[in-house]
Amino acid sequence: MHIPDGFLDPKTWGTLTGVSAGFTGYALYAAKSKLNEKVIPLLGITAAFIFAAQMLNFPVAGGTSGHFLGAILAMVLLGAWPGFLVMVVVLMVQCLFFADGGLTALGANIFTMAVIGGLMSYYLLMLSKGALGRSLSERTSLLTCTAVFSWISVVLASIACSFELAISGTVPLGTVLPAMVGVHAIIGVGEAIITTVVIAVVLQSRPDLVDAYSGPPELGKRVAREVA
Amino acid sequence: MADDVNNVSGKKTTGLWIFFGVAMLVAILLAVFISPWASSSPDGLEKVAEDKGFMEAAEDTEPTWTHSPIPDYGDAVGTKAAVGLSGFIGVLLTGALAAGVALLALGLGHMNKRRAAEPGN
């Protein structure tokens, strides 16, 4: 879903560049409460994994491919703002080093995939997890919400992308919206599978490294001991 | 709650640095050995742009940034090795930059704390 140069008009990409710069600046301050010397390697590894996984285009219906997005994975693992920074780094590297996504569209791509597909979807996930957590175990409600909202994150991002294209006058909303949502509803299934499997594996081996998991407190203390 | 209890009941968890090492290795293996065989079909947005006739909007536009050292993840070179190598470079670069940004954020946090701790603030 990386928008190239030329799809967006200056008012749209200009506005979204400003919005994304604002979010990124705030994230640099807000992330600090989650960061310590031991979380930093996890942040780097998460970014590296998302970069790698985004290269793996899988075929979906009708000569189309989709690939992993990773915003929900990053935020569930690291918390909203460190996860947001990870997505910004991934999108910047893709744009500047690999010519994936236009430079004028970088702000729009951050907005689409890290604000709408990321922060907004993550906070919806956490709200639902809170509601679900009253009747299900922490682990089950986290994995269920991870599956559902990683799918939703891809669909929401495709809706945002459609609006950006329509507002730019590139294509009418009625034309682009059903097409984008249709294909990304399928791609989102891949997103849900990958995200849920990775979170389940980390929960199994190191539950203390999953920020969104507020499970047994003993494990949190274990990490505190290791850090100290 | 049953599964939560299972987690507590002292199953040995993976050591922190072993976990980091394995995770990094998985990322590198995916980028180097799997990505060259990824689908080269257009992605969701590209496909919609082709079908709905607005792909020209991008094709007719000069890219604003032309200094990407490895455009399209080595696809232009056309060999699987080039894609794998570009994946390897990308994984290390992204990981290092993200850790760097985190250090920067941590540094900003420390500076703030120090400023707040000064008398008169």
What average pLDDT score do residues A96-105 get? 96
Inside any domain, residue B10: no
Contacts of A88 in chain B (CB under 8 A): 101
Residues composing chain B = 121
pTM, full prediction: 0.90
Which pLDDT belongs to residue B83? 95
User: For chain A, how long is the longest CA-to-CA vector?
Assistant: 57
Residues composing chain A = 228
Which pLDDT belongs to residue A226? 58
Q: Which of residues 69-98 of A touch B (CB under 8 A)?
A: 82, 85-86, 88-90, 92-93, 95-98
Query: Residue B116 sits in which domain range?
Result: 42-121
Number of domains in chain A: 1
What's the CATH number where A177 sits?
A: 1.10.1760.20
Instruction: Evaluate if residue A50 carries a pLDDT over 60.
Output: yes
- Closest chain A CA to residue B46: A1
Residue among B30, B58, B94 whose CB faces A56 most closely = B30
Q: What's the rounded Cα separation, in Å, for the pair A40 and B80?
A: 32
Inside any domain, residue A4: no
Inside any domain, residue B59: yes
Task: Grade residue B1 by pLDDT with cuts at 50, 70 and 90.
Answer: very low
Task: State how far residue A226 is from chain B, nearest Cα, in angstroms.
Answer: 9
Contacts of B51 in chain A (CB under 8 A): 179
Which pLDDT belongs to residue B100? 96
Task: Grade residue B29 by pLDDT with cuts at 50, 70 and 90.
Answer: very high
Q: Which of residues 100-119 of B touch A (CB under 8 A)?
A: 101-106, 108-110, 112
Inside any domain, residue B77: yes
In 3D space, the residue among A77, A118, A98, A89 whose CA is nearest the CA of residue B94 turns out to be A89
Inside any domain, residue B110: yes
Q: Are B32 and B87 in contact (CB under 8 A)?
A: yes
Query: Residue A48 sits in which domain range?
Result: 10-227
CA angle A148, A152, A153 (to 5 degrees): 115
Provide DSSP, B37-67: GS--S-BHHHHHHHHTT-HHHHHTSPPS---
Highest mean pLDDT among A65-69, A218-222, B59-63: A65-69
Inside any domain, residue A100: yes
Inside any domain, residue B20: no
Determine which of B48, B92, B112 to mutate to test the interface with A (most A C-beta atoms within 10 Å). B48
Number of domains in chain B: 1
In 3D space, the residue among A193, A121, A191 whose CA is nearest the CA of residue A156 turns out to be A121
Q: Which of residues 21-60 of B touch A (CB under 8 A)?
A: 23-24, 26-28, 30-31, 34-35, 38-45, 47-49, 51-54, 57-60
Inside any domain, residue B5: no
Contacts of B112 in chain A (CB under 8 A): 29, 32
What average pLDDT score do residues A99-114 get? 97
Inside any domain, residue B76: yes
